[in-house]
């Protein structure tokens, strides 16, 4: 088996037994990047020299007997998570030359764990999108079919794992941007509970929704990454001060005694028949493995998309006001007064989707409209959260499709924002309620494209999700398939 195709826990075993060195693993991944990156374009920046240096440091740690689960494991970080000395562009022209002077909390934690950073992943500009086509640096392609989108906005992070250009990665999820690309690329992706992972050093899109989380080839690696990145950060007032369990202890091969809720609203109009049958088969598999299932209802989820497209743009319009060409980032040339400089910088620096969101958000927040839009959306958001509370009174976790369709064609939805927004219809309610959610592969379409199963649980019940996901994975083989490329 090639090193770049393996999981972190498999590599860890080999490192522990001194059958391989972290330098060899990193070299294998860097060669793979050279080979497939021209086709996939998962990266905005490849940090080969830094990676080799970190690999040598990891090797030294292993020599001293000081290797942990991620020591010497090549990872990729989405390009909106700050990395000291390494460009962090957010997929935007406006931050093309931005090199952070500090590490995000998660970056610092991964470094402390001895992980090797091979690069920064491509993404939709400021995480706005579902296909990675909104990147200023050009789209990423789906490793399963280069004519298809990898999902978004963390499409680069997902494609890099699927293509063997790293072992695991980090993304961010505001409305589905970890789970939907994981589903499109046939890997595991998890959005933790809001507050579980610090957002310090994560460039903000919609602060009340954003959360960082892992992509990996299996549930075990997902748990290892969670162990590394979760925890309280005093520099982030929204990070929660709760002890971090060892998530690998939740990895049982057993769902007996668990009740899984099936929200009836998720199986209606607009759901691709192949996705529906794969998800229904997955539910049967879990029933056969001993889980009870009950039908539940999330009636307010009908409004989730509408609520999200008020709240997310409103928060974005405020968060993105700081990019004005003054302190850092891109500045348009040849302007003589301040207003002109602001206008030109923002006109040239932002792409179409970002401008659309800034305009939507500014409008929704403007005086006279605030009550009708933002306030109303916030009220409905509470009702959505209450739907979940009721559902979780009757079950331990919920099962739904992750996305309504498998990966679609590049270019298919770029000119139709509303169609693009519908890609997140099953993932967005979870962000609005601040819940944890995971997507894992549960089937393939006739065309050979991966299909994802979404598992949701109540706040801070990541362990229940991991238990269901691991049991499913241990008893099926969907996660073992890899794209031919
Ligand atoms: N696709 C959704 C959007 O465009 C969600 C993005 C995300 O989770 N960052 O806003």
Question: What pLDDT shows up at residue 1?
Answer: 74
Please indicate whether residue 39 is annotated as part of the active site: no
- Tell which one of 91, 124, 424 to mutate to probe ligand 1, the residue whose CB is within 8 A of the most ligand atoms: 424
% of the chain residues with pLDDT over 90: 98
Q: Decide: pTM greater than 0.85.
A: yes
Question: What pLDDT shows up at residue 334?
Answer: 87
Residue 128 CA, ligand 1 centroid: distance in Å? 5
Q: Where are the beta strands (DSSP E) in 264-412?
A: 292-296, 397-401
**Ligand 1: does its nearest atom lie under 6 Å from the Cβ of 431?**
no
Write out the two tokens for 63: 């020599």
**Ligand 1: does its nearest atom lie under 6 Å from the Cβ of 315?**
no
Ligand 1: nearest atom to the Cα of 129: 4
Distance of CA 460 to the CA centre of its chain: 18
Question: What pLDDT shows up at residue 356?
Answer: 97
Q: Per residue in 20-56, is it b (16+ CB within 10 Å) or e — as a string? A: bbbbbbbbbbbebbeebbeebbbbbbbbeebbbebbb
pLDDT tens readout for residues 26-54: 999 999 999 999 999 999 999 999 999 99
Q: Which helix (H) or strand (E) holds 383?
A: helix 376-394
Q: How far apart are CA 53 and CA 33, in angstroms?
A: 17
Question: What pLDDT shows up at residue 269?
Answer: 86
Question: What pLDDT shows up at residue 345?
Answer: 97
Please indicate whether residue 28 is annotated as part of the active site: no
Residue 10 CA, ligand 1 centroid: distance in Å? 32
What string of H, E and C letters represents the secondary structure of 422-436? HHHCCCHHHHHHCCC
**Ligand 1: does its nearest atom lie under 6 Å from the Cβ of 430?**
no
Contact in structure between 438 and 399 (CB atoms under 8 Å): no
- Tell which one of 174, 212, 310, 434 to mutate to probe ligand 1, the residue whose CB is within 8 A of the most ligand atoms: 174
Q: How far apart are CA 72 and CA 64, in angstroms?
A: 13
**Ligand 1: does its nearest atom lie under 6 Å from the Cβ of 177?**
yes
Between β-strands 437-444 and 188-191, what pairing exists: parallel, antiparallel or unpaired?
antiparallel
Contact in structure between 454 and 179 (CB atoms under 8 Å): yes
Question: What pLDDT shows up at residue 127?
Answer: 98
DSSP label at residue 48: H
Please indicate whether residue 153 is annotated as part of the active site: yes
Question: What pLDDT shows up at residue 335?
Answer: 79
Q: Per residue in 209-242, is it b (16+ CB within 10 Å) or e — as a string? A: bbbbbbbbbbbbbbbbbbbbbbbebeebeebbee
DSSP label at residue 114: T
Residue 129 CA, ligand 1 centroid: distance in Å? 5
Contact in structure between 299 and 383 (CB atoms under 8 Å): no
Measuring CA to CA, which residue among 470, 440, 439 is closest to residue 191? 439
Which parts of the chain have pLDDT scores under 70? Answer: none
CB neighbours (10 Å) of residue 414? 17
Residue 241 makes CB contacts below 8 A (sequence gap 6+) with 232
Query: Which residue's CA is minimally distant from atom 5 of ligand 1?
Result: 175
pLDDT tens readout for residues 445-455: 999 999 999 99
**Ligand 1: does its nearest atom lie under 6 Å from the Cβ of 128?**
yes
- Tell which one of 90, 134, 171, 175 to mutate to probe ligand 1, the residue whose CB is within 8 A of the most ligand atoms: 175
Write out the two tokens for 162: 């699927």
Write out the two tokens for 241: 């001060």
């Amino acid at each position: 088996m090639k090193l770049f195709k393996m999981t972190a826990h498999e590599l860890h075993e080999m490192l522990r037994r001194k059958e391989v060195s972290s330098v060899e693993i990193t070299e294998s991944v860097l060669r793979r990047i050279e080979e497939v990156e021209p086709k996939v374009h998962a990266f905005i920046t490849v940090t080969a020299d830094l990676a080799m240096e970190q690999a040598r440091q990891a090797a030294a740690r292993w020599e001293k007997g000081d290797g942990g689960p991620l020591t010497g494991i090549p990872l990729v970080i989405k390009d909106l998570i700050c990395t000291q000395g390494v460009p962090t562009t957010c997929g935007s022209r406006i931050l093309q030359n931005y090199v952070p002077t500090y590490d995000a909390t998660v970056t610092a934690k991964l470094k402390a764990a001895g992980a090797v950073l091979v690069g920064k992943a491509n993404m939709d500009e400021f995480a706005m999108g579902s296909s990675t086509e909104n990147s200023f640096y050009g789209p990423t392609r789906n490793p399963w079919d280069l004519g298809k989108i990898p999902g978004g906005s963390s499409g680069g992070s997902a494609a890099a794992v699927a293509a063997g250009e790293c072992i695991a990665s980090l993304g961010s999820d505001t409305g589905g941007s970890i789970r939907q690309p994981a589903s499109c690329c046939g890997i595991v992706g998890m959005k933790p509970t809001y507050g579980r992972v610090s957002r310090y050093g994560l460039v903000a899109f919609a602060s009340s929704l954003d959360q960082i989380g892992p992509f990996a080839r299996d549930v075990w690696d997902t748990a290892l990454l969670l162990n590394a990145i979760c925890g309280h950060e005093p520099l982030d007032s929204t990070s929660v001060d709760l002890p971090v369990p060892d998530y690998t202890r939740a990895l049982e091969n057993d769902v007996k005694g668990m009740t899984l809720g099936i929200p009836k609203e998720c199986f209606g109009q607009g759901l691709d028949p192949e996705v529906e049958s794969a998800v229904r088969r997955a539910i049967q598999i879990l029933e056969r493995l001993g889980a009870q299932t009950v039908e539940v209802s999330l009636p307010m989820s009908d409004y989730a998309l509408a609520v999200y497209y008020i709240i997310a743009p409103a928060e974005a319009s405020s968060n993105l006001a700081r990019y004005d060409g003054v302190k850092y980032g891109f500045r348009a040339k040849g302007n003589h007064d301040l207003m002109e400089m602001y206008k030109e910088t923002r006109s040239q620096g932002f792409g179409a989707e970002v401008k659309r969101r800034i305009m939507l958000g500014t409008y929704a927040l403007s005086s006279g409209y605030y009550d009708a839009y933002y306030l109303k959306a916030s009220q409905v958001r509470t009702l959505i959260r209450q739907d979940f509370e009721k559902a979780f009174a009757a079950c331990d976790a919920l099962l739904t499709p992750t996305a309504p369709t498998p990966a679609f064609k590049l270019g298919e939805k770029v000119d139709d924002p509303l169609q693009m927004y519908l890609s997140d219809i099953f993932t967005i309610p979870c962000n609005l309620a601040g819940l944890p959610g995971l997507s894992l592969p549960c089937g393939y379409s006739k065309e050979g494209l991966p299909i994802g199963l979404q598992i949701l649980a109540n706040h801070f019940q990541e362990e229940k999700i991991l238990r269901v996901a691991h049991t499913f994975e241990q008893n099926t083989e969907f996660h073992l398939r890899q794209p031919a490329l």
